[in-house]
Amino acid sequence: MAPNSTPPPSGVYVPAVLFFDENEDLDVPAIKAHVLRLAKGGVTGILVQGSNGEAQHLSHDERKEAIRLTRQTLNENGFEQVVIIAGTGAQSTRETKKLCADAAEAGAAYCLVLTPGVWPGQMTPANILKFHRDVADASPIPTMVYNFPVVTAGLNLDSDIIGELAQHPNIVGTKLSCGTIGKLHRLTSTVPASKFATFPGVSDVSSGPRVRERRSYRRAPKRRAQGAYGGVPAVQGG
């Protein structure tokens, strides 16, 4: 478990796509060019192997290499401050732990962990809590809970489960690709942003906090707007 785990800094995070050549090998020049373009755009962080990152089509070595290339490209071009969040979802606790360790070694600062969905009927609230806690206990870098029912056989973690997971010292955030704005509001109103980052993963959900941010500044410049911590993509209200 990572010592003194803190959430990722607030700001704009972009899910990177992954490129292959005609032989279906990693297209290294294209990957590096894409990463550099994102960094030059001013993003706070890059999500590698999110749902756009082709993780399900990669070997363990390829997943690790994609993270390493991203970190190398950022560092070589003066973007050391850009944060890497790495998707480490797998269908077993053991494999997920391994992917978290690989991500840390390759240069990621955080892991984004999907809930296994092969046997959704067996994923009771107790089993979901145990899975994420076991992974977080073993991960050398902080973890985040990735709630994306479309790719986990309909498993949709509610705000109570995510709120319980937020109490773990090495679980520092969540990405809500479920599109439920009520869940986002419940989490941001009950879990301190200094300990747990709540990222909307759908653009129409993230638009609400941005609208409230603008209105709050017009009405009271010193008042902090309620809303999401950050986003993929989104910005912190405040």
How many distinct helices (H) and strands (E) make up the chain? Answer: 7, 7
Of 64, 175, 183, 222, the catalytic one is 175
Query: What's the start-to-end Cα distance of the chain, in Å?
Result: 31
CB 198 within 8 A of CB 226: no
User: What is d(CA 49, CA 85) in angstroms, rounded to the nearest whole number?
Assistant: 9
Q: Please, which residues have CB within 8 angstroms of residue 84's CB and are 6 or more apart in sequence? A: 45, 46, 48, 67, 70, 71, 74, 107, 108, 109, 110
Query: Does the annotation count 175 as an active-site position?
Result: yes
- Indicate which residues carry an active-site annotation: 175
